[in-house]
């Protein structure tokens, strides 16, 4: 019997743009952008003396026109920073789609926020995303992901933060991320084991299109659902790399059609054009075609 967790309701997370909550113009611009999700940042991009103003900006932003077809995630400050509790009060008032926790080191970090949200009667649909950006976070990635299956947990997604991880480990920012790949794959294994999503880290030079393309291709090959972005110029490339290609869609549709043939009824393995295909490939094909339909549905007319 397979021990693979059942597929969750699929969300598009190819392009996840981080927007400083202190930047009103950038907040307003999110309405017209083709990213799948926006992270409204109250943490690293906001100076301590600007935190209150940034929260007020988000209150005005959520009071305005809704952001269509995008998840809205608010990244809060850690509870130990002195700003986190005020951020959580804002979360309770605004009810975004998710709250992003910085520097998650262990499962208790997730469960503590889950408990606080439950005590505040936050709707169950309000999920938690966790930044994995410290050595302890990487070492505990499996335990953190497993906490998403604990009753009461709201964990839905892990987001890799390589800037902080490089700072704490001394790993240099080299093309190809050679010395970071084992840690990235550790996060991927963790989320795949427990049915969550993982987002690849930001690429810091938004003017380097070639380098960004290479890193997106690498992240897609690793199994990341998408990439955290720092600039709107990165959205189109992320959508392309982390979305299915026409060739992939055609192949998936062919697999679905092959298993729909009455001659294959009851078979777990079939021969299609000289290739052995298992029913697990059918599950993958159905998920890919569903993702393609979601992408097609959100494209502007």
Q: How far apart are CA 246 and CA 259, in angstroms?
A: 20
- The structure tokens listed for 148 are 């998403």
Q: Which of 253, 239, 241 lies closest to 285 in space, CA to CA?
A: 253
**Are 178 and 162 in contact, with CB atoms under 8 Å apart?**
no
Alpha helices in the chain (DSSP H): 24-29, 51-63, 84-94, 107-119, 135-139, 141-146, 162-169, 181-194, 209-222, 235-242, 246-260, 279-298
Retrieve residue 158's tokens.
């892990």
Question: Which among 266, 258, 208, 265 has a CA at the least distance from the CA of 237?
Answer: 208
Chain-centroid distance, C-alpha 7: 15
Sort strands 269-272 and 275-278 into parallel, antiparallel or unpaired. antiparallel
Confidence class for position 5, pLDDT limits 50, 70, 90: very low
Strands 155-160 and 275-278: unpaired
- Please report the pLDDT score of residue 2 as a whole number: 37
Question: What average pLDDT score do residues 129-137 get?
Answer: 98
- Please state the φ and ψ torsions of residue 165, each to the nearest 5 degrees: -65, -40
Distance separating alpha carbons of residues 96 and 38, to the nearest angstrom: 11
Q: Please name the residues in contact with 279: beta carbons below 8 A apart, sequence gap of 6 or more.
A: 259, 268, 269
Of the listed ranges 24-28, 142-146, 152-156, 228-232, the one predicted with least confidence: 152-156
Give the CB-side neighbour count of residue 206, counting CA atoms within 13 A. Answer: 13
* Structure token digits, residue 291: 């993702």
pLDDT at 276: 87
Would you state the pLDDT for residue 7? 43
Supply the pLDDT for residue 111. Answer: 95
- What is the percent of the chain where pLDDT is above 70? 96
Q: Per residue in 213-240, pLDDT tens?
A: 999 999 999 999 999 999 999 999 999 9
Please determine, for residue 94, whether its predicted confidence score (pLDDT) is greater than 50: yes
| pLDDT tens-place string over residues 179-203 | 999 999 999 999 999 999 999 999 9
**For 62-71, what is the mean pLDDT?**
90
Which domains are seen in the chain, by residue range? 15-242 (3.20.20.60), 246-298 (no CATH)
264 vs 37 pLDDT, higher one: 37
Place of tokens 């690429």: 203
- Per-residue model confidence (pLDDT) at position 9: 61
The encoded tokens of residue 111 equal 């469960």
Helix (H, G, I), strand (E, B) or coil at 126: coil
Helix axes 279-298, 246-260, angle to 10 degrees: 130
pLDDT at residue 246 in the model: 94
Please tell me the pTM assigned to this model: 0.91
Does the pLDDT value for residue 47 go beyond 50?
yes
- Distance separating alpha carbons of residues 211 and 155, to the nearest angstrom: 31
Contacts of 87 by beta carbon, 8 Å cutoff, 6+ apart: 42, 55, 74, 76, 77
Residues in the chain: 301
């Amino acid at each position: 019997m397979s021990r693979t967790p059942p597929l969750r309701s699929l969300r598009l997370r190819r392009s996840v743009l981080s927007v400083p909550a202190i930047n009103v113009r950038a907040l307003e611009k999110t309405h017209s952008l083709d990213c799948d999700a926006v992270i409204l940042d109250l943490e690293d991009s906001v100076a301590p003396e600007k935190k209150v103003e940034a929260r007020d900006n988000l209150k005005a932003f959520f009071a305005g026109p809704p952001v269509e077809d995008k998840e809205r995630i608010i990244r809060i400050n850690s509870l130990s920073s002195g700003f986190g509790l005020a951020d959580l009060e804002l979360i309770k008032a605004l009810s975004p789609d998710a709250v992003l926790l910085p520097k998650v080191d262990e499962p208790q970090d997730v469960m503590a926020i889950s408990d606080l949200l439950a005590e505040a009667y936050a709707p169950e649909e309000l999920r938690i995303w966790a930044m994995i950006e410290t050595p302890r976070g990487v070492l505990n990635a499996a335990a953190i992901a497993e906490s998403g299956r604990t009753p009461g947990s709201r964990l839905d997604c892990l987001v890799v933060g390589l800037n902080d991880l490089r700072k704490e480990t001394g790993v240099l920012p080299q093309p190809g991320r050679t010395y970071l790949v084992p840690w990235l794959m550790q996060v991927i294994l963790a989320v795949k084991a427990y049915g969550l999503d993982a987002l690849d880290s930001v690429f810091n030079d938004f003017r380097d299109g070639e380098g960004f393309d290479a890193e997106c291709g690498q992240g897609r090959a690793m199994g990341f659902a998408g990439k955290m972005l720092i600039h709107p110029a990165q959205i189109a490339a992320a959508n392309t790399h982390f979305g299915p290609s026409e060739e992939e869609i055609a192949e998936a549709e062919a697999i679905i059609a092959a298993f729909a043939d009455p001659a294959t009824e009851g078979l777990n393995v079939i021969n299609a054009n000289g290739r052995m295909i298992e029913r697990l490939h059918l599950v993958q094909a159905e998920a890919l075609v569903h993702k393609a339909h979601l992408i097609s549905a959100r494209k502007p007319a």
